[in-house]
Structures are given as structure tokens and as C-alpha cells.
């Protein structure tokens, strides 16, 4: 990793805080008309127009949320932005601005911060997001990144977690469990590397899993696809902690129960083969894996014809009365109660 052991690297103290801010923000350009003033004054200025403003924030701490021994800094920057954009899309809004605040210890030279911001900039360019501010400061140990994303939506378009109704269908975009398995593969390679640094890992069988872990993409496309299909979800959430945990949020806030079907869970073939190799239950991984950044939503049952067969979506179950609880129907047609565990629950197994 890019630690400050190399004398050719540039120490952050040489630049000073304002020099650093200028240096890392100079190539960012403003994309959205709602950004009146980005970096460079005491505060950014946004034009909220007649829409509603969506605000979401996330704090990532080295050693807790990311491990730089297998997470390249550029990927970390990209992913830190995705995590926040995903929350804006989960409200059925469009994301337009971010602020980025970082704290780094003196083991990070300027080149490391440049790598991190290269990832942030790639995310901004790809998703048409303006960087409008933030803060940089020093930490006594490790790296912290806090990103706030700002978006907007028409009042009538915003989708909350609390609107799911009995008989609504439960739909998920993309597939589940791959990011968690990618992490398992990277953790295993880290252990192998510790024992034998000359070992060249063969990761060909895990490319999709590793990409899902290191370079997730937020589902910016989903609000647009739904609009085209003339489907308005009754509730929506993004999958950051795992399907079970997100279903709990929707059901608790909507005061309903749910029934999902094991054989309907969308799994990539690499998820199935790697679960076999790691002796993990693929259903458990799909339910509790987390970090998929797919969107989970409910739609009125009358919209079934519009949703079914769309390659972006899988109908995985339906909403029930609150007193039915949250249940999974297994392939053997048995009903078992869902537990609200995030991806941490898998770690101890
Ligand atoms: Mg979320």
C-alpha cells in the first residue's frame, strides 16, 4: 500500500490544508445547474428549485469498514461515493452533489490522497455528481472518510420505506450475495499472502464477486426504468446490510409482514459455485450478505405484468398481514421465520 516510507512521496504537511484542497479538487467540474457555487467559498450554494431535497451521509473508518491491504485507494474513493448515491436512488431521487471529508494520519502521502480522489472523481464523472465541499484534517491513526450526498426529487416521486401494503409484490434489482463472497475471497487471499508472499492468486473464477466488492455500482438506472414501466413502488430501500435486514426495515415501518421464496432469490452462477467451494449456504449469503447496493421495493400486485420478465428485476415474494411475520418459503416448501441479521451475523459462523 501507499505508506509514507518512500522518500519520493510528497508529505501532506508540505502542501498545507488549503494547498491540499486546491490540489485535489482542481480537476472536478460542475455538471448540475442546481450547483450555483461548489468548492471555494465559506459554503456551497445550491438551487433547490421547487423540488424536495434528499440528504444522506455515511462515515467509513479504516479497520472497521475497509481494509487497505486489499482495497485499493482508488476503489475505496469510488465505493464511498456509491454507498451514498445508492441511498439517494433508494428514495427514487436523482443525486447531484457530494461533500467529502477525510482525516488521514501522516502515514499517507499526497500520492495516496490523489489515488483516493481519483476514485471519487471517476464516480462523480460517471454519475454526473458535483463535489461541492468538505474538509480535510489529520488523524492520529488511519483514515476516515465521511461523504454526504445531496439529491432531489419531485414531491410526488419520493418513495419512503413505510408505504408497503398487503398483497404488494416484493421486487429486487440485480442479484444478491456477490459482494459478501468477494470479501470472503479477498480475505482468504490476504491470509494466503501472509503465509507465502510469492503466491500469485488465481482469481479468474471470482472476477464478478471481487468487482461487486471492490467496485460496486449504485442503481441510478432503476428510478428511470420504473418511470418508463409506469410503475411507482409503494416502498423502497437499498440493500446495504442484507436482504433480511432491509425487509425488516420495510415491514416494520409499513406495519406489514412478508413472504419471500427461496427459489426466487436472484443468484449469479459465481455465487452458487463459490458458496459450494466455501461450504456456505447460498440462501444465507443472499439474505445476510450485504453490500449489494441493489434496490428492494414493493409494487401493487396489479403491476405484475409490467415487472415480470424485465431482466433488471426479480419478483421474490409478497407482502402479508403484519401478524403473519416475516417468512421464507424454502425449496422444500417449508416456511421459516426470517431473522433481521446484517452481514456481521455471517462473520462469526
Ligand atoms: Mg440505505
Question: So where are the chain's domains?
Answer: 12-157, 169-347
Which architecture does CATH list for 169-347? Alpha-Beta Complex (3.90)
Q: How far is the CA of 152 from the centre of ligand 1 (A)?
A: 16
CATH of region 12-157, choose from 3.30.565.10, 1.10.760.10, 3.30.420.40, 3.30.1330.10: 3.30.1330.10
Q: How far is the CA of 216 from the centre of ligand 1 (A)?
A: 14
Residue listed under C-alpha cell 477525510? 102
Q: How far is the CA of 58 from the centre of ligand 1 (A)?
A: 10
d(CA 293, CA 318): 21
Greatest CA span in the chain, whole angstroms? 65
Strands 295-299 and 235-238, sheet pairing: antiparallel
How would DSSP label each residue in 95-158?
A: EEEEEEEEEE-TTS-HHHHHHHHHHHHHHHHHHT-EEEEEEEEE-SSSEEEEEEEEEEE-GGG-
Same fold, 12-157 and 169-347: no
Cα 257 to its chain centre, rounded Å, is 25
Q: How far is the CA of 289 from the centre of ligand 1 (A)?
A: 15
Q: How far is the CA of 41 from the centre of ligand 1 (A)?
A: 31
Residue listed under C-alpha cell 434528499? 54
How would DSSP label each residue in 5-40?
A: T-TTSPPHHHHHHHHHHHHHHTT-----TTEEE-BT
Per-residue pLDDT tens digits of the chain, which is 349 residues long: 444 455 578 888 787 777 888 888 888 889 998 998 888 777 889 988 889 999 999 999 999 999 998 899 999 999 999 999 999 999 999 999 999 999 999 999 999 999 999 999 999 999 999 999 999 999 999 999 999 999 999 999 999 999 999 999 999 999 999 999 999 999 998 888 888 877 777 788 899 999 999 999 999 999 999 999 999 999 999 999 999 999 999 999 999 999 999 999 999 999 999 999 999 999 999 999 999 999 999 999 999 999 998 999 999 999 999 999 999 999 999 999 997 665 444 544 4
Q: How far is the CA of 195 from the centre of ligand 1 (A)?
A: 38
Cβ(46)–Cβ(97) under 8 Å? Answer: yes
Burial of 275 (0-12, 13-18, 19+ CB in 10 A): buried
Q: How far is the CA of 236 from the centre of ligand 1 (A)?
A: 9
Compute φ and ψ for 150, nearest 5 degrees: -125, 135
Predicted confidence at residue 15, as pLDDT, reads 78
Q: How far is the CA of 19 from the centre of ligand 1 (A)?
A: 34
List the binding residues for substrate.
65, 291, 343
d(CA 329, CA 262): 6
Q: How far is the CA of 323 from the centre of ligand 1 (A)?
A: 26
List the binding residues for ATP.
117, 134-135, 161, 240
List % helix, strand, coil for the chain (3-state, nearest 5): 40, 25, 35
Helix (H, G, I), strand (E, B) or coil at 161: coil
List the binding residues.
42, 56-58, 65, 87, 117, 134-135, 161, 238, 240-241, 291, 343
Q: How far is the CA of 245 from the centre of ligand 1 (A)?
A: 11
Q: How far is the CA of 343 from the centre of ligand 1 (A)?
A: 14
Amino acid at each position: 500500500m501507499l505508506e509514507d516510507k518512500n522518500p519520493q512521496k510528497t508529505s501532506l504537511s508540505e502542501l498545507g490544508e488549503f494547498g491540499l484542497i486546491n490540489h485535489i479538487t482542481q480537476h472536478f467540474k460542475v455538471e448540475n445547474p442546481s450547483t450555483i457555487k461548489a468548492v471555494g467559498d465559506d459554503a456551497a450554494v445550491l438551487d433547490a428549485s421547487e423540488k424536495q431535497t434528499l440528504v444522506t451521509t455515511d462515515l467509513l473508518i479504516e479497520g472497521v469498514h475497509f481494509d487497505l491491504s486489499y482495497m485499493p485507494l482508488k476503489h475505496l474513493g469510488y465505493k464511498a461515493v456509491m454507498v451514498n448515491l445508492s441511498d439517494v436512488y433508494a428514495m427514487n431521487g436523482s443525486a447531484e452533489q457530494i461533500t467529502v471529508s477525510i482525516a488521514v494520519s501522516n502515514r499517507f502521502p499526497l500520492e495516496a490522497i490523489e489515488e483516493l480522489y481519483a476514485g471519487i472523481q471517476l464516480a462523480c464523472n460517471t454519475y454526473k455528481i458535483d463535489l461541492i465541499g468538505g474538509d480535510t484534517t489529520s488523524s492520529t491513526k488511519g483514515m476516515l472518510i465521511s461523504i454526504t450526498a445531496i439529491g432531489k426529487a419531485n414531491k410526488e416521486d419520493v418513495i419512503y420505506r413505510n408505504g408497503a401494503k398487503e398483497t404488494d409484490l416484493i421486487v429486487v434489482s440485480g442479484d444478491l450475495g456477490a459482494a459478501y463472497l468477494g470479501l470472503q475471497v479477498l480475505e482468504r487471499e490476504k491470509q494466503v499472502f501472509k503465509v507465502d508472499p510469492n503466491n500469485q492468486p488465481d482469481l479468474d473464477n471470482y472476477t464478478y464477486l471481487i468487482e461487486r466488492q471492490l467496485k460496486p455500482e449504485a442503481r441510478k438506472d432503476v428510478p428511470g426504468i420504473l418511470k418508463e414501466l409506469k410503475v411507482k413502488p409503494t416502498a423502497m430501500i437499498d440493500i446495504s446490510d442484507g436482504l433480511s435486514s432491509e425487509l425488516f426495515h420495510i415491514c416494520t415501518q409499513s406495519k406489514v409482514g412478508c413472504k419471500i421464496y427461496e427459489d426466487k432469490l436472484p443468484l449469479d452462477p459465481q455465487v452458487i459455485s463459490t458458496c459450494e467451494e466455501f461450504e456456505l449456504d447460498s440462501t444465507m449469503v443472499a439474505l445476510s450478505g450485504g453490500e449489494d447496493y441493489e434496490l428492494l421495493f414493493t409494487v401493487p400486485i396489479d403491476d405484475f405484468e409490467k415487472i415480470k420478465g424485465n431482466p433488471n428485476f426479480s419478483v421474490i415474494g409478497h407482502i402479508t398481514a403484519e401478524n403473519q411475520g416475516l417468512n421464507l418459503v424454502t425449496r422444500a416448501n417449508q416456511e421459516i421465520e426470517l431473522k433481521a441479521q446484517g452481514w456481521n451475523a455471517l462473520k462469526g459462523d
